[in-house]
Structure 1
Amino acid sequence: MPPDSTRRSEKSRRAIYAAALTLVAEVGYPKTTIEAIAARAGVGKQTIYRWWSSKAEVLMEAFVDLGAQAAEAAGGDWAETDGIPDTGDLEADLKTVLRATVDELNDPRYEAPARALAAEGVGNPAFAKEFVATLLLPSLELYVRRLRTAQDAGQVRADVDPYIARDLFVSPLAQRWLQGTGPLDHAFADKLVEYALYGIAPR
């Protein structure tokens, strides 16, 4: 029986994903090359170029797959199922999601590739557009959907723009993660929700 080329390709793809993620964590993104990924994965360089045009594309696909594999192992998560939980308590639901995001950002498996992709996006506008469309917008849209549900329930003012409100939660989290201006923990996530929902002026 001839070898199954589909199975062989999938095995090679998995090896390339693992090699890219491991190298970025070990030596950093600048020193990670297509040649190094190919050598670590045990495939030819042309195999990688057949599927991807750059190391950034390899890493982004590997990162997306990493998240999908983790979600599958955990039985699915809020981003893979029906969106942000809707228990009727908007504050509690947002805290649950932001705490989960903090945990992911602090996970060494995700941190190195996520930082590498963010850095690549700064100097590569075309890649940044793809990065935002592929990795960021789908999750961010879930916040908008949950905020609109809260508006329908009278928990958020009808005149509030859900896209701007979404950024009140996620942008400070991303800034602290990127710049390291303070601890990135559950207490910080909870305060973001409270400040965004209730403001900072005296009640």
Structure 2
Amino acid sequence: MAQKTAPDSTRRSERSRRAIYDAALALVGEVGYAKMTIEAIAARAGVGKQTIYRWWPSKGDLLLDAFLDLGEQAAREAGEKAGQSVTQYEIPDTGDLEADLKLVMRATIDEFRNPKYDAPWRALAAEGMLNPALGAEYVEKLLEPSLQLYVDRLRKAQEAGHIAASVDLRIALELWTGPLAMRWLQRTGELTHEYADQLVEYALYGITPRPAP
């Protein structure tokens, strides 16, 4: 008589976790963060709500993990296209800082305009301002790693003599990431590739006329 294989609890848990992530990301886009509930996520995912509470203390913590997982998938896909592993993914260094920054800023614009990213990202940014603990986790796990990619690329440019040695790289990156974040959060203007290019150009070359050679 053939023996039955015992259920793999690890695989079952992973399937449930994946279903919960998908449900949370879908619901925040459909009904918004305020109306998204743990009960609705559980029903969409086909799990009991106690399963969710066993893994996450709140819907904010769940959404952050779901969004981080979404970002890891996107980074993995981008890394594969570039012939890199996800752990090696970084801002390209072609030797042309302007072109490299424009490439990444355009990709960021595309993410902001994609409802799959926009809704959860906007919800986390807003909730993080009201919930200090979640806000700190949002900065540590999501925002800071993204900013560090810019710092790493700028440091290479600085070492190559393309950026003045006296420049504070953390302040420098705010010259283009700050305006972009403000326009996106406050919906004060259209997000286009041309806008991304202008931010990079203004940051690198300033806004005053350059003297003739």
Q: TM-score range by the shorter chain?
A: over 0.9
Q: Hey, what's the Cα distance between the residues in 2 that align with 1:80 and 1:186?
A: 27
The residue number in structure 2 matching 1:128 is 135
Match of residue 56 from structure 1: 60
2:8 and 2:134 map into 1 onto residues whose CA distance is 34
Find the aligned partners of 2:180 and 2:158 in 1 and give their Cα distance. 23
- 1:10-49 residue pairs with structure 2 within 5 A? 10-49=14-53
Question: CA deviation digits over 1:69-122, x for unaligned, max 9?
Answer: 233344267985341111111100100110011011111110110111011011
Q: Percent identity?
A: 67
User: Cα offset for 1:180?
Assistant: 1.1
Q: What corresponds to 2:6 in structure 1?
A: 2
2:149 maps to which residue?
142
Structure 2 counterpart of 1:156, from 152, 158, 163? 163
Match in the other structure for 1:70 = 74
Tell me which residue corresponds to 1:169. Answer: 176
In structure 2, the CA distance between the partners of 1:161 and 1:154, relative to structure 1 (3 Å rule), is same
CA distance in 2, matches of 1:188, 1:3: 53
RMSD: 1.5
2:94 paired with 1:87: yes
Alignment partner of 1:99 is 2:103: no
Distance in 2 (CA, whole Å) between partners of 1:101 and 1:81 is: 19
- The alpha-carbon deviation at position 149 of structure 1 amounts to 0.9
Structure 2 stretches of 5 or more lacking a match?
A: none
2:203 maps to amino acid: A
Runs (5+) with no aligned partner, structure 1? none
Aligned AA (1:46) = Q
Runs of 4+ deviating beyond 6 Å: none
Change (3 A) 1:147 1:73: closer
TM-score (norm 2): 0.91
2:75·2:89 contact (CA, 8 Å) conserved in 1? no
Alpha-carbon deviations, 1:31-90, whole Å to 9, x = none?
001111111111011100111100001111111111222333442679853411111111
Look up the SS of the partner of 1:25 in the other structure.
helix
Residue aligning to 1:109: 116
Q: Aligned in 2, Cα 1:80/1:108: closer, same or farther, shift over 3 Å?
A: farther
SS of alignment partner, residue 88 of structure 2: coil
Count of aligned pairs: 203
- Aligned mates of 2:12, 2:172 — CA distance in 1: 47
1:128-160 Cα shifts (integer Å, max 9, x gaps): 110000001011011111111111111111110
